[in-house]
Structure 1
Amino acid sequence: MRDQQQTGYTPYPVAGVTPEQRVLVERRAVACDGSVAGALGHPRVWLRIEGTEVTCPYCSITYVLKEGADGGDHH
């Protein structure tokens, strides 16, 4: 996955093209392997939610931080 800080790349949802699948999560660091969308999936990538949501560059699933979640991922 490309680093948004270095390349400025981040997928943006496109109405009618991007799946509208949204997954609520309680942590800012989420792993995506595309299995939520079914089929064969894709290589596992770790995504970091900086604001309130992040979209996977492989499968376009959007992960949304639950309201009230502290997102405490201090490793």
Structure 2
Amino acid sequence: MRDPDFTGYTPNRVEGVTAQEVIQVTSRHVPCDGGGLGGHPLIWLRVEGDEITCPYCSRTYHLAPGAGDDDHH
């Protein structure tokens, strides 16, 4: 069972702690590299609820309303 404060290994956004940058996305599979040059290694995040926060750079990706039906193969 997963810890209720985490989504997999990725922390949830915490007001006043996590960076304020929120990026709206239309897919549940999100690449993050921390902004390219000087960022971090490219990782793929999986949005399980409405949003996910990158464990490296604390950018938060928020799933756009009506988006995210990309679970099929």
TM tier relative to shorter chain: 0.7 to 0.9
What is the deviation of 1:11?
1.6
Q: Classify the secondary structure of the residue corresponding to 1:67.
A: coil
- Hey, which of these two has a bigger chunk of helix by percent? 1
Cα distance between partner residues in 2 of 1:33 and 1:47:
11
Structure 2 gap ranges (5+): 1-6
Structure 1 gap ranges (5+): none
Q: Report the AA paired with residue 20 of structure 1.
A: Q
Cα distance between partner residues in 2 of 1:16 and 1:39:
26
Deviant stretches of 4+, over 4 Å: none
Cα distance between partner residues in 2 of 1:64 and 1:56:
11
Q: Report the AA paired with residue 51 of structure 1.
A: G
Alignment of 1:18 with 2:18, yes or no, is: yes
Cα distance between partner residues in 2 of 1:30 and 1:54:
9
Q: How does 1:43-54 map to 2 (within 5 A)?
A: 43-54=41-52
Q: With the length of structure 2 as denominator, give the TM-score of the two structures.
A: 0.76
Match of 1:55 in 2: 53
Q: Report the AA paired with residue 72 of structure 1.
A: D
Cα distance between partner residues in 1 of 2:13 and 2:68:
25
Q: With the length of structure 1 as denominator, give the TM-score of the two structures.
A: 0.74
Cα distance between partner residues in 2 of 1:12 and 1:70:
18
For the aligned residue pairs, the C-alpha RMSD in angstroms reads 2.1
Q: Report the AA paired with residue 25 of structure 1.
A: V
